[in-house]
Chains A and B, each alone.
Chain A
């Protein structure tokens, strides 16, 4: 049982490049979320999903897309990277009716 896995762990992009951050969980959790964490701040919700085929926007969705074709996977796409998207990205999952979110180890993204 690997929990929540994220790849890559580190990534450097140039402004305007696109990429996909991968997130997978093997706990059969319905809820999955993407957060970004900037220095000195808590986590801000980017997008979330309450089940396969269902996604919704969080607090800071601009510049990011998500899809949820399976229960296990919830990739986050950066369409055209900007320096303001330099951050640490965390994926989390949670079982329906539960309160605890399980977090992945994070992806540290730098956009130059």
Chain B
């Protein structure tokens, strides 16, 4: 079983601060996705990273895939209250494209 460990589990910061969320595994993934989930809704994709060492930017969010494709990070610059939510990373199996493994998520609260 492939496992993904996310840290921290909870994060509470003031608006304007920066933060980083980590997603680590001992397994290699063919790709890794970051999702954001609002209460009462399903997760919505933010980004997919595929190539080892890849960096993608989405406005104030920067995503990085580790060189060995085992870990990833999400960095938010100048957080806003609208960034509040549950952030989930998910790794797609290297051997079975139909299977994804999710981390336990990071609950982010951005206070005004």
Proximity bits, A45-80, B CB within 8 Å = 1, else 0: 100111000001011000000000000000000000
Q: Which 10 A-B pairs have the closest CB atoms?
A: A103-B42, A42-B102, A99-B48, A43-B102, A42-B104, A50-B98, A100-B45, A42-B105, A99-B31, A48-B98
Kindly identify, within residues 1 to 52 of chain B, every residue whose CB is under 8 Å from any CB belonging to chain A.
1, 4, 6, 9, 31, 33, 40-45, 48, 50
Interface status of B101 (Cβ within 8 A of chain A)? yes
Interface status of A92 (Cβ within 8 A of chain B)? yes
Known contacts A40-B9, A42-B6, A59-B1: A103-B43 contact under CB 8 Å: yes
Known contacts A59-B1, A99-B31, A104-B42: A35-B102 contact under CB 8 Å: yes
Kindly identify, within residues 63 to 104 of chain B, every residue whose CB is under 8 Å from any CB belonging to chain A.
88, 90, 92, 97-104
Task: Check B88 against A33 for contact (C-beta < 8 Å).
Answer: no
Distance in Å: Cβ of B36 to nearest Cβ of chain A = 11
Residue of B41, B48, B101 touching A106 (CB-CB under 8 A): B41
A–B pairs, 26, beta carbons within 8 Å: A35-B102, A40-B9, A41-B105, A42-B4, A42-B90, A42-B102, A42-B105, A43-B88, A43-B90, A45-B99, A45-B100, A45-B102, A48-B99, A50-B98, A90-B42, A92-B42, A99-B33, A99-B48, A100-B33, A101-B33, A101-B90, A101-B100, A103-B44, A104-B42, A105-B40, A106-B40
